[in-house]
Structure 1
Amino acid sequence: VNGLVLAEDGKKMSKRLKNYPEPLQVIHDFSADAMRLALMHSPVVRAEDLKFSAAAVEHELRSLLIPLWNAYAFFVSYARTDGFDPTTMLHEGPFENALDRWILSRLQGLERTVIDGMDAYDLQVSVNAFVDFIDDLTNWYIRRSRRRFWKSENDADKVQAHSTLYTVLLELSQVVAPYVPFISEAIWRNLRTDAMADSVHLSLFPEPDEKLADPALETQMDRVIRAASMGRALRVKHEIKIRQPLQAITLVTRDRAERALLEELAHLLEEELNVKEVRFTENEDDLVEISAKGNFRELGKRFGKATPKVAAAIAKLEAPLIRRLEAGETLTLDAGEVQAEVTLSDLVLQRSEREGLLIENDGTLTVGLVTEITPELEAEGLAREFVSKVQNMRKQMGLEITDRIRVRYQVDDEKLAQALAAHGDYVKREVLARELVRADAPQGEPHDLNGIPVTITLEKA
């Protein structure tokens, strides 16, 4: 049972009122696939009413279809550059990299969920499953695997990365074909081999391979993604660019199993959060200063006129005693003529970040980001900003990903000049530059690097 599709103003769609967008124009502007998703990924399939708008269709295009197409385009670009041929080079396992094993396991879960959802005529379950998967694929797997595709060496890890992404995109096109038939057909036709069906709609729906399912790894990666999201949230909240390296992030958890899971994949957090070190501790006192004051509502019930003295004794409690109360103990405090037995419910806890730290907490996990930026870290951050500007200029010039360039820059600020000199090899490696020279660049493009003006000139080598 579906709900009603109403106009954006909540009224019934009416030709007389013309209170709805022209359907063919919406399809022309945003594609038929986006129109289909806007309906299937909405309350209307839950028997609730939908206030339809062109903006909702555009949202599906930008948040789902464009990222999916970008993932496909990313693979094709590097596969062509590296000469990857799935008929002769496809690696079928075992996969050494945890990211490969994770996304392949997620793919099996997706296929299982979509099959079950379609068998039960439950569009919401099926659509939500592949929406979440596309987010994991684009915002975690590909982002964390980019350097594996950038490597100049055609080593085993690179082949496994190509094979994984090829397999995922090919089978994903089959999974989403009933929902977004046009983009799935375009992806399938370019990735298929001669031995496969001519059309994705003539191929058999993929069956999950239980040998590739790894629920334990999925749980582990979920913890890492959660920690990374908390770290990113701290950067965004305090306006610290992700390109600015930081010294460390500290993870606090008393759950030993959670700590073990995070420690094994700590390198992913280093890369994702652009920190030099991931530290672990069970003691939250390493990150915050904790103090307590009396909970007058609770204390007043038991101590009456002696409540202010008991509250004063509570205010003197140091962190170790407060931690004992958190662990469930009862303490006896000397409040003058009263010996007061108190528990955690008698306290109001106050936490303050230690100087130089930013703190985020979510359930059993607390993360602390070290915010001190040393001159060395600042220099590396400037070099990364420079790389970003040059990469954007490469795109604007329409250069191929393998094209080598020469870079000239003009800058009066010695701090930036010294940063580029110190990190010149890194800059050249990242932007594929044969030369990086400080010189006059009168015809160059002006840029602002964290408030420092610089002019950059690129030319194909």
Structure 2
Amino acid sequence: DCWFDSGAMPFAQHHYPFENKDIFEQQFPAAFISEAVDQTRGWFYSLMAESTILFHKSPYENVIVLGLVLDGNGQKMSKSKGNAVDPFEALKKHGADAIRWYFYSNSAPWLPNRFHDKAVQEGQRKFLGTLWNTYAFYVLYANIDDFDPSRYEEMYSAILQKVKAGDEDALPVMDRWLLSRMNTMIRDTDQNLAAYRIPETARALESFVDDMSNWYVRRCRDRFWASGLEEDKICAYMTLYNALKNLCLCAAPMIPFMTEEIYQNIVRRVEQDALESIHLCLFPSCDEALINQDLEQKMGEALNIVVMGRAARNDANIKNRQPIGRMFVKAEEALPKYYSDIVTDELNVKTIEFTDDVREFTDYTFKPQLRTVGPKYGKLLGGIKKYLGNVDGNLAMDQINESGVLRFDVNGESVELTREDLLIETKQTEGFVTQQNGGLTVVLDTNLTPELVEEGFVRELVSKIQTMRKEAGFEVQDHIDVYESGNDRIRGILEKFENQLKKEVLAETLRYGMPDADAFSKEWTVNGERVMLAVRKRG
């Protein structure tokens, strides 16, 4: 019957043993087969049974079992229930790449998947949208500079050879970091795919795209904005080009359409020997000589501090454009100056101090988690509450961070509480805000001097003028005139920081009073101050 026929597929398709013996032996057993979980008693079994009888071995080395696709509420899709999704409508709405990426990244293939629009759109925004925006950034500035990576391949290869030989000055730190992250991504992606770890592969790709866009491009924008094509700018272009190219080569099996679009536009257009399609290319190889674990670790710690610092700013309701005087960090080790400078720049903080003790800025209070502590120490619960109410918060937190357990005695009996057994609240000193995660603590001094407040105004004004440039349809390289009217305080700040502001927004002049008729005007509220601003493109 049909199950016997399907089980005979490995040899019957080649008319073995009557002919094609070499082809059959080359292809048998298969590296993997894949079907839904309902084939466990069907095709998977019939293949195994017939192969075992005939060849005394399994016909496949691996089985990828696909779980069922459920609706957004976790119910099995059914026409009778009316919760089935038309795949063609979903493809039309989201695109094939977004749907493919959702299934790859959401969970292991053999687990059930809840399919709903919001989940697909989230992956589309976080990964596909970020990748596309990074690609668009590269294309925009490469077109402005008429940049062709093939012209600089020989120069860049020579620089990379110096880096591999240990010359850290041959390439900027950010470039060496992204190349290290890229090769780590290639290695991890290759290993995960070889081991059928699909969500882990997706996470490796997503993490790299996030680092490339939200850290490398963010930190290196000024290099792309610089005039001319000096070596530093060429290196930035070449590093981003190679990162985009290799990311697409790694991600092509998962998001075939977007990667093909990017490959055709930025690779085939410039590389003479580029293959016709990205799907004809070999998977990239990891260059271990460009992986620098120490560099990745230090940059990763800097990024963690920045993330926690931003969270602290949010807690204090202080915008990132408002400079802060100082911050304190408790970590396993202090970062070298290069990385600490990145932190202060990203968080808009004047100074950073690494310290072993942040007790003066924070304390902790503890309560028992009744759901877990009650069943374990029911009769001691009153004594546990009393002990936790009087414990030195910082000493208790140190013990938890060091050993993972808070140990003490109640009525002569030993008590051990893990982090899951405790409700921990952070008490903060007035004028300071703290974020803590494991052994890392970040403290921001939120006391603002008049000078810091003025600088915050400048940052806000630059942001507003840049927004107006965009709304007025100016090109990024256009020089402008800026007008201000209606607020004496804003005028005073503009006059004081005129040179800085003109440089940042490409302004030739700052003028006060009513703008010319052909200027683009807009009224703003800047830190509570109402003001009229206008911009005009220079002829």
Distance 1:6 1:208 in 2: 38
Letter in 2 for 1:368: V
SS in 2 for 1:41: helix
Q: Counterpart of 2:145? A: 82
Distance 1:65 1:96 in 2: 29
Residue by residue, what CA displacement relative to the aligned partner does 1:77-102 show, whole Å, maximum 9, x if unpaired? 12222332211224232353222111
Letter in 2 for 1:448: T
List runs of 5+ in structure 2 lacking aligned partners.
1-64, 164-169, 367-379, 404-416, 418-423
How far the C-alpha of 1:64 sits from its partner, in A, is: 0.9
1:383 pairs with 2:465: no
SS in 2 for 1:265: helix
Find 2:197's aligned residue among 89, 114, 122: 122
Distance 1:327 1:209 in 2: 37
SS in 2 for 1:19: coil
Q: Counterpart of 2:44? A: none
TM-score w.r.t. the length of structure 2 is 0.71
List runs of 5+ in structure 1 lacking aligned partners.
293-300, 329-344
1:202 pairs with 2:266: no
> Residue 456 and residue 264 in structure 1: after superposition, are their counterparts in 2 closer, same or farther (change >3 A)?
closer
1:444 pairs with 2:521: yes
Letter in 1 for 2:483: R
Q: Counterpart of 1:407? A: 482
SS in 1 for 2:514: coil
Residue by residue, what CA displacement relative to the aligned partner does 1:98-121 show, whole Å, maximum 9, x if unpaired? 221111111111111111122223
> Residue 288 and residue 29 in structure 1: after superposition, are their counterparts in 2 closer, same or farther (change >3 A)?
same
Q: Counterpart of 2:7? A: none
Q: Counterpart of 1:18? A: 82
Question: How many corresponding residue pairs?
Answer: 427
TM-score w.r.t. the length of structure 1 is 0.83
Find 1:53's aligned residue among 116, 135, 142: 116
How far the C-alpha of 1:391 sits from its partner, in A, is: 1.5
SS in 1 for 2:354: strand
How far the C-alpha of 1:351 sits from its partner, in A, is: 7.3
Structure-to-structure mapping, 1:225-244, within 5 angstroms: 225-244=303-322
Q: Is the 8 A contact 2:315 2:433 kept in 1?
A: no
Residue by residue, what CA displacement relative to the aligned partner does 1:295-320 show, whole Å, maximum 9, x if unpaired? xxxxxx9xx9xxx9x99xx99x9x99
> Residue 236 and residue 16 in structure 1: after superposition, are their counterparts in 2 closer, same or farther (change >3 A)?
same
Distance 1:9 1:284 in 2: 46
> Residue 447 and residue 27 in structure 1: after superposition, are their counterparts in 2 closer, same or farther (change >3 A)?
farther
> Residue 405 and residue 26 in structure 1: after superposition, are their counterparts in 2 closer, same or farther (change >3 A)?
farther
Q: Counterpart of 1:188? A: 263
Structure-to-structure mapping, 1:261-276, within 5 angstroms: 261-276=335-350
Distance 1:247 1:385 in 2: 17
How far the C-alpha of 1:25 sits from its partner, in A, is: 3.0
Q: Counterpart of 1:69? A: 132
Structure-to-structure mapping, 1:133-212, within 5 angstroms: 133-152=208-227, 154-192=229-267, 193-212=271-290
SS in 1 for 2:66: coil
Distance 2:348 2:265 in 1: 35
Distance 1:323 1:37 in 2: 42
Letter in 2 for 1:25: E
Structure-to-structure mapping, 1:6-45, within 5 angstroms: 6-43=70-107, 45=108
SS in 2 for 1:195: coil
Distance 1:222 1:202 in 2: 35
Distance 1:112 1:32 in 2: 26
Q: Which has the larger radius of gyration?
A: 2
Structure-to-structure mapping, 1:273-422, within 5 angstroms: 273-285=347-359, 287-288=361-362, 352-412=427-487, 414-422=488-496
Q: 4+ residue stretches of structure 1 with deviation over 6 A?
A: 289-292
Higher mean Cα deviation, 172-181 or 108-117? 108-117
> Residue 351 and residue 206 in structure 1: after superposition, are their counterparts in 2 closer, same or farther (change >3 A)?
closer
Q: Is the 8 A contact 1:20 1:53 kept in 2?
A: no
Q: Counterpart of 1:426? A: 500
How far the C-alpha of 1:368 sits from its partner, in A, is: 1.2
Distance 1:423 1:378 in 2: 13
Letter in 2 for 1:239: N
Letter in 1 for 2:514: D
Residue by residue, what CA displacement relative to the aligned partner does 1:124-165 show, whole Å, maximum 9, x if unpaired? 221121011111111211112222222235433222211111
Distance 1:187 1:170 in 2: 8
Higher RCO (CA-CA < 8 Å; seq separation 6+): 1
> Residue 290 and residue 7 in structure 1: after superposition, are their counterparts in 2 closer, same or farther (change >3 A)?
closer
Distance 2:441 2:122 in 1: 33
How far the C-alpha of 1:286 sits from its partner, in A, is: 5.1
Q: Is the 8 A contact 1:114 1:129 kept in 2?
A: yes
**RMSD of aligned Cα (Å):** 3.5
Residue by residue, what CA displacement relative to the aligned partner does 1:380-402 show, whole Å, maximum 9, x if unpaired? 11111111122222222332211
Q: Counterpart of 1:335? A: none
Distance 1:287 1:153 in 2: 48
